Amino acid sequence: MKKMLFVVFIFTALIHAKINQIENQQTRLAAYEKFVKVVNMIEAYYVDELNTTTIINKALKGLLPNLDPHSSYLDKASYKELKIQTSGEFGGLGIVVGMRNGVLTVISPIDDTPAYKAGLKAGDIILKINDKATLDMSLDEAVNLMRGKPGTKITLTIVRKGQKPFKVTITRAIIKIKSVKAYALKGYPNIEYIRISSFDKNVVPSLKKVLKRIKKEGKKGIIIDLRNNPGGLLNQAVGTLDLFIDKGVLVSQKGRVSSENVVYKAHSEGTYKDIPIVVLVNGGSASASEIVSGALQDYKRAVIVGEKTFGKGSVQAILPVTKDEALRLTVARYYLPSGRTIQARGVTPDIIIHPGKIKEINDNTAKITEANLKAHLRAELQKIDHKKVVLKNQKEKIKKINGDLQLLTGANILKALIIAKENR
């Protein structure tokens, strides 16, 4: 009896599955028929004559951004631009933008570019590009408008929190990115300051050279500045983490399709696992920057200082449609070693410090005693001149704190970590 009931149950389940399959096929067919019908109606009745290709392309451009802010249809021009975007040199303003709450928002300006020099900041809303409002504009359309011939000007209308809308005129240029810059930190002889402005293809090789040099010089700690770093290539983020973490999962991605489920693990070879690290982040730190800072935080490999990051933790795949066109489609989400996601959440620093300026006071004049003696002053002058010669010969780049509260806090935390390590 039980066996018969089990057979009946299986048979019923199969029937329901078959019915659902038929219904799904019918629903899909009805949807396709509706789409074709709409296309035919547009071709027949729209005020301007449009061919089928134009209508389909417009439909795709509207469809993809409605899935999520990071998916888009790439026509011939957009696809070509995407291919050169991570090469380290391209034309434009030097600004990374995205859609946040449906509005065109600056993720970050890239260091030493026209947008950076014009004073644009992470979180700025671009209300208009020249005379065109951006409220109903797709991300790709906005990017295409902002790019142009080097030497030409563009005017952006900016909305910044706490201020009235204002206009900024920027001259386009060829954007050359030096993604990794390293400096000795003034006042902290044992600390190296490393600025990573974006994760392009040059990051890991450049970083390896810097780490090799500072190891030779005997530096005892490093500050990695990822503020306003909009991200970039995943393999560069993974490679950066692999330099500081010797074992375990660095980051993983999970999607609907099993082929998108990938786990990236650390390798022990070539790891700088003992040097203390402080990482600086802010609201302009996104994507690859969040993967690096979040993973280092999970492993307690670094102290994260600054403000909460942007919160872009989704994976986009480029799926060619034709030779010259493609889809940029969100296919998975990133997960940090602890299993947490950064999508729409970001990375919360261990030490939250908002940007601010500290006035540096030089009180040497209040301590002049013996220094008034001419002989002593001559000796001091010789010391100063000698130091200048040494620095010039060594060609050492110096990073000044210049009242940067986040950098100052990070330097002091790192100094304490170095002292604690030496006293173990």
Q: Which residues are catalytic?
A: 287, 298, 312
Q: Buried b / exposed e across 192-229, counting CB within 10 Å, b at 16+?
A: bbbbbbbbbebbbebbbebbeebeeeebbbbbbbbbbb
219: left (phi over 0), alpha (psi -120 to 50) or beta: beta
Give the E-state strand segments of 27-69 in sequence order: none
Could you tell me which residues come within 8 angstroms of residue 231 by beta carbon, excluding any fewer than 6 positions away? 198, 199, 237, 286, 287, 288, 289, 290, 312
DSSP string, 117-184: HTT--TT-EEEEETTEE-TT--HHHHHHHH---TT-EEEEEEE-TTS--EEEEEE-EEEE---EEEEE
Residue with token string 């503020």: 227
Could you tell me which residues come within 8 angstroms of residue 287 by beta carbon, excluding any fewer than 6 positions away? 199, 230, 231, 232, 310, 312, 313
Q: How far is CA 387 from the centre of its chain?
A: 38
Q: Please say whether the beta carbons of 74 and 157 come within 8 A.
A: no
**β-strand 314-320 against 221-225: which pairing, if any?**
unpaired
Among residues 229, 225, 220, the alpha carbon closest in space to that of 182 is found at: 225
**Residue 366 half-sphere exposure toward CB, CA atoms < 13 A:** 3
> What gap in Å lies between CA 242 and CA 257, rounded to an integer?
27
- Between the alpha carbon of residue 243 and those of residues 112, 199, 341, the distances in Å are 27, 15, 22
> What residues form DSSP beta bridges with 126?
158
φ/ψ of 29, rounded to 5, equals -60, -40
Q: Please say whether the beta carbons of 332 and 255 come within 8 A.
A: yes
Two tokens, residue 170: 């920027």
